[in-house]
């Protein structure tokens, strides 16, 4: 199948090769064109503009934020084949997903939201977890493509934005873990108990999942570089959660707390740190260190 792929950051550059491996004809585009060379070496075509890459049956976008997706939306709409499908893999707002759904429908095209969970290494191994939603007919057509890049695809109905909401809710849960561990460990540390021992105890008993182990270890050692998931991106996600909650009239006090914590990190000039750095605020506010 002729496929366009827009966005070759850490995630996009790891995902696109799995589509090539699956036998597709993939045309890649990136704002900084130097990222394309590695993909061309793996069999991709280098498109010089978003519009050129979008002359395809399916176009994937894996871009940094709403603005980046909006920046290429008109090119996709103008060039995607009749009946073509735009699959958005990145974390975008519910509102933008709704807008794109309408815009593609107006052109006789389709929009599918398929935001992914996983880090670049998982993407390279086609081990992503994907929350997807879109019209049944479009979903049927794209399912083989999603299965080529992920280990699990869960379909959340025929309204694309539902998948974006699920992704945002999932990121909210992930960031919540950081806040709860941060406060718990600040309390334990200031009380004189050992946090590594506390973490070992917790993760060998009730909190066995990887996220508690991995994030807990970073928080226990207060080590936030290099960033696996930069705070500034977490801040963006929490703003999107807030916008979705505002739009649906859902009060979310814990989400507010996380948004404020991350905004503070960014405002203080620490947005480049890993998002577990928000635990450092609980430590600092307790006068630790």
Residues in the chain: 289
d(CA 134, CA 154): 12
- The stretch near a second copy (CB under 8 A) out of 51-59, 62-70, 103-111, 177-185 is 177-185
Closest of 252, 261, 236 to residue 171, by C-alpha: 236
Report if residue 229 touches a second copy, rule: CB under 8 A: no
Residues 6+ apart with CB under 8 A from 269: none
Report if residue 22 touches a second copy, rule: CB under 8 A: no
User: Of 149, 255, 273, 275, which one interacts with a second copy (CB under 8 A)?
Assistant: 255
Q: Give how many residues touch a second copy by CB under 8 A.
A: 81
Using CB under 8 A as the binding rule, the residues of this chain from 145 to 164 that contact a second copy are: 152, 154, 156-157, 159, 161-163
Using CB under 8 A as the binding rule, the residues of this chain from 84 to 103 that contact a second copy are: 94
- The stretch near a second copy (CB under 8 A) out of 9-17, 135-143, 192-200, 219-227 is 192-200
User: Of 183, 217, 227, 272, which one interacts with a second copy (CB under 8 A)?
Assistant: 183
Q: Which of 2, 42, 107, 167 is catalytic?
A: 167
Closest of 125, 119, 133, 167 to residue 150, by C-alpha: 125
For a second copy, which is the closer residue by CB, 76 or 142?
A: 142
**Residue pointed to by tokens 């879109």:** 134
Q: How many CA atoms lie within 13 A of 197 on its CB side?
A: 5
**Residue pointed to by tokens 């990136």:** 30
For a second copy, which is the closer residue by CB, 24 or 236?
A: 236
Q: What is the largest CA-CA distance in the chain?
A: 66
Using CB under 8 A as the binding rule, the residues of this chain from 43 to 82 that contact a second copy are: none
Report if residue 173 touches a second copy, rule: CB under 8 A: yes
Pair 145, 58: CB distance under 8 Å? yes
d(CA 25, CA 281): 48
Report if residue 20 touches a second copy, rule: CB under 8 A: no
Our answer to whether residue 167 is catalytic in this structure is yes
Which active-site residues does the annotation give? Answer: 167
């Amino acid at each position: 199948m002729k496929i366009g792929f827009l966005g070759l950051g850490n995630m996009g550059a790891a995902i696109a090769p799995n589509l090539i491996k699956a036998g597709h004809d993939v045309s890649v585009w990136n704002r900084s064109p130097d990222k394309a060379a590695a993909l061309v070496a793996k069999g991709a075509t280098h498109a010089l503009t978003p519009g050129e890459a979008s002359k395809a049956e399916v176009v994937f976008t894996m871009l940094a934020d709403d603005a980046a997706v909006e920046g290429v939306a008109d090119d996709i709409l103008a060039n995607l084949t009749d009946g073509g499908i735009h699959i958005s893999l990145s974390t975008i707002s519910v509102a933008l997903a709704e807008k794109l759904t309408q815009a593609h429908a107006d052109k006789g095209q389709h929009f599918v939201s398929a935001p992914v969970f996983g880090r670049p290494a998982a993407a390279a191994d086609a081990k992503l977890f994907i929350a997807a939603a879109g019209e049944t007919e479009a979903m049927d057509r794209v399912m083989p493509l999603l299965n080529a890049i992920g280990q699990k695809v869960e379909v959340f109905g025929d309204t694309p934005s539902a998948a974006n909401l699920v992704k945002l809710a999932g990121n909210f849960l992930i960031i919540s873990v950081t806040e709860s561990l941060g406060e718990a460990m600040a309390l334990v540390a200031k009380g004189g108990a050992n946090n590594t021992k506390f973490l070992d105890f917790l993760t060998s008993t009730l909190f066995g999942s990887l996220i508690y182990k991995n994030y807990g270890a970073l928080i226990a050692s207060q080590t936030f570089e290099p960033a696996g998931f930069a705070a500034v991106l977490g801040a963006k996600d929490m703003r999107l959660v807030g916008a979705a909650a505002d739009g649906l009239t859902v009060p979310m006090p814990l989400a507010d707390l996380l948004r404020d914590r991350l905004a503070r990190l960014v405002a203080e000039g620490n947005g480049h740190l890993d998002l577990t750095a928000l635990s450092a605020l609980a430590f600092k506010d307790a006068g630790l260190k």
